[in-house]
Structure 1
Amino acid sequence: MAPSLPEDLPWVEKYRPNKIKDLVYQQEAAQLLHSCLTCGNLPHCLFYGPPGTGKTSAALAFCKELFPPEIYRDRVLELNASDERGIKVVREKIKRFAQGSVSSAKFEGYLCPPFKIIILDEADAITPDAQTALRRTMEQFSRITRFFLLCNYVTRVIDPLASRCAKFRFRPLPIELQMDRLKYIVGQEGISISEELLRRLTRACNGDLRRAIMALESAHRLSRGNNITEEDIDSVSWRVPDEIIARIDSTCRKISSLGENTLHFSELRNMAMDFINNGYPVSEIMYQLCDALISASHLNKLQKSVIMIRFARAEKMLVDGSDELLVLLDIFGVLFQVYNEPENVEKLISLTRN
């Protein structure tokens, strides 16, 4: 039986969509799931995209509309693959559930098709060997079991597994759609916050609605029921102060103009260590620095292109687990190189290839 929702649930669970029609912006996936609710058939599905865009909500909402609470736990298995990622889990827990028989009981108002559903969240964290074993399980029990594979990085899912699924990309939610949802929550909870601060919050969350809702709840707790302030929003959304971003750009420009490169690298290193020691997230520094440099008048289009390509590689290094200090120094080095030889087009282009 699906659990009832207590009043003290975190807001991300309390306001999670329970019906396919409540999903927004992911039209292709919603259309498929809606048609499956009508015809009673479902392919294996692979939902991929940034966090907080509705992948888990879509899968859970579909299951809640497909099966009644009385048999929900018998028909739906939800696993977080980042915690249970080894081949042992696939061979035992998943295979045991997948091969179990399905009852023919019918319930009024529910389609109850003759198959079960396994939801694997963060499927890109499953080891390659376990993914190979999972492929075999999908093939062997596809008649009575369907899979939802949910992940952030589809390239980390092996091709034989991805090819057996209908793939749907979940895109980052536009700010206005996030604003609409946050306004609904604000109205339900009776929170006092201006529209300007809500917009500031959504911009800081980069299309991640889950993160925005969690930050809104944290800001509400931090304000202790009073009006939410700009300081509250910046504290809970990990936003780096604007003066820090301005300091990075101005320091790199100043050092590049001095000429004695090796003598002033220590200033960049000390600045990077200062940011790390103060707990500023490198990913947020990078995102905000990108926003600031895109509109910068002292950079031409080629320089901006080089910076953005190198910043994308730095983000990939962060995702792969690289040391934050080294990534931050790499970012500073890119800015230094771009500012140091703005006229050397060939060198700027080579920066994107190395």
Structure 2
Amino acid sequence: MTEVISLMDIDDDDNNKLNNNSNSNSNNKGKNVVVPGEPKATPWVEKYRPQSLADVAAHRDIVDTIDRLTSENRLPHLLLYGPPGTGKTSTILAVARKLYGAQYHNMILELNASDDRGIDVVRQQIQDFASTQSFSFGAKASVKLILLDEADAMTKDAQFALRRVIEKYTRNTRFALICNHVNKIIPALQSRCTRFRFAPLDSFHVTERLKHVIEAEKLDVPEAGLAALVRLSNGDMRKALNILQSTHMASQQITEEAVYLCTGNPLPKDIEQISYWLLNESFTESFKRISEMKTRKGLALVDIVREVTMFVFKIKMPSDIRVQLINDMADIEYRLSLACNDRLQLGSLIASFTRARSALVAAAN
């Protein structure tokens, strides 16, 4: 949903002149747009990036709002935030194409703030670009656009400096900040932008976009393979396309097993088997069998824990036992993220299920 903080009219100026070529592609960093004629090795993430606002797969409420503001010549500074692969960069690049057409690369400065994150970048590159006059198209003067991807990686000093630059050059420049964590953007910057939250894509939109790519590339993808792609993407379109392309490079037919094998994730049938051992076998037997499967199939324990956690939601058990079990597995996953010993954490996982089994037996009696 949208959260509109403020709107700023674009100032018209019939006397604006063409700026020089110093603001051209040489300053562009971050995510680039694929143009016709690029080699076939182009990643599908870029090859199938939406070229217009109408092509953006989801978030139609946000896209339509931005489209209307653009058409009415009332584009504000923008702050687009949300998880990766949800269409933030694609949306703002589509806006740029609509605004500038063939002059696109002269009118936009792209910076990846995770690389260009310091105050010097704000004082030099950004301020130099913002301070120059913008192109004039007919009777309307078009503002330039500065795109700051991964803006949450900027230092606090750089963000405070950017606040003043935004105020000073509002007349001829608009800023689009893109980030995953909006809480890392200082309030002073947030208040100067219209904020839009991009939620993870639902399975319908991911499926439809994947079908479009599958048809365009003439791939052999059974329904089970497509379902596996959607499931593993977790609402991240970029991740879904990367998995699809990687699996295609490894296998002619993109089956469910090929997808899981390519990503290194445990198959659903493996998780069912592991869960059966955890719920029915002794500690020693469970440890032996899970260790053997983990080694034979090259599975990571952290992936097993995540998948088993999801499987627990499908099992019928009292809510208090389920909550305790899920909390235990969350603790195990956290310890694994700190590089704790796998064998110890596997033992902890089996012990958690042993306690849960004892609680289930006690509850039944």
- Give the structure-2-normalised TM-score: 0.75
Letter in 1 for 2:318: N
Shift of 1:327: 10
Between 3-12 and 247-256, the greater mean CA deviation after superposition: 247-256
1:87 aligns with 2:119: yes
Distance 2:90 2:75 in 1: 17
- For residue 307 of structure 2, what is the aligned residue in structure 1? 288
> Structure 1 residue 227 and structure 2 residue 258: aligned?
no
> Which whole-Å deviations, capped at 9, do the CAs of 1:328-354 have from their partners, x for residues lacking one?
97797588458637899xxxxxxxxxx
After superposition, where does 1:128-167 map in structure 2 within 5 Å? Answer: 128-167=156-195
CA distance change for structure 1 residues 341 and 222 in 2, over 3 Å: closer, same or farther?
A: closer
Q: Is the 8 A contact 2:332 2:349 kept in 1?
A: no
Are the equivalent residues in 1 in contact too, given 2:77–2:194 (CA < 8 A)?
Answer: yes
Q: Pick which of 236-245 and 196-205 moved more.
A: 236-245
> C-alpha separation between the residues in 2 aligned to 1:246 and 1:257?
17
2:44 aligned with 1:11, yes or no?
yes
Cα separation, partners in 2 of 1:228 and 1:342, compared to 1, 3 Å: closer
In angstroms, what is the RMSD of aligned CA positions? 3.7
Shift of 1:287: 3.8
Structure 2 residue identity aligned to 1:85: R
| % identity of equivalent residues | 34
With over 3 angstroms needed to count, the CA separation of the structure-2 counterparts of 1:292 and 1:84, relative to structure 1, is: same
Q: Which has the higher contact order (CA 8 A, sep 6+)?
A: 2
Aligned with 2:151 (options 118, 123, 126): 123
The 5-angstrom pairing of residues 1-354 of structure 1 reads: 3-8=35-40, 9-69=42-102, 71-106=103-138, 113-223=141-251, 226-242=252-268, 245=271, 249=275, 280=299, 284-297=303-316, 299-306=317-324, 308=326, 322-325=337-340, 333=348, 336=351, 340=355
Determine the C-alpha separation between the residues in 2 that align with 1:66 and 1:317. Answer: 49
- The answer as to whether partners of 1:48 and 1:152 remain within 8 angstroms in 2 is yes
Q: How far 1:290 moved relative to its partner? A: 2.8
Listed one character per residue, the Cα deviations across residues 6-51 of structure 1 (whole Å, up to 9, x for unaligned) are: 2512111111111111123212320222112311121111111111
Larger Rg: 2
Counterpart contact for 1:282–1:324, Cα < 8 Å: no
Segments of structure 2 that go 5 or more residues without pairing to the other structure are 1-32, 360-365
Aligned mates of 2:34, 2:283 — CA distance in 1: 64
Q: Out of 239-248 and 23-32, give the one that drifted further.
A: 239-248
Give the superposition deviation at 1:86: 1.9
CA distance in structure 2 between the aligned counterparts of 1:62 and 1:332, rounded to whole angstroms: 53
Q: Secondary structure at the residue paired with 2:158?
A: helix
SS at match of 1:47: strand
Alignment gaps of 5+ in structure 1: 259-266, 345-354
Contact 1:201 1:237 in 2 (8 A): no
Give the match's secondary structure for 1:68: helix
Deviation at 1:250, TM superposition (A): 6.1
Taking structure 1 as the reference length, the TM-score comes to 0.77
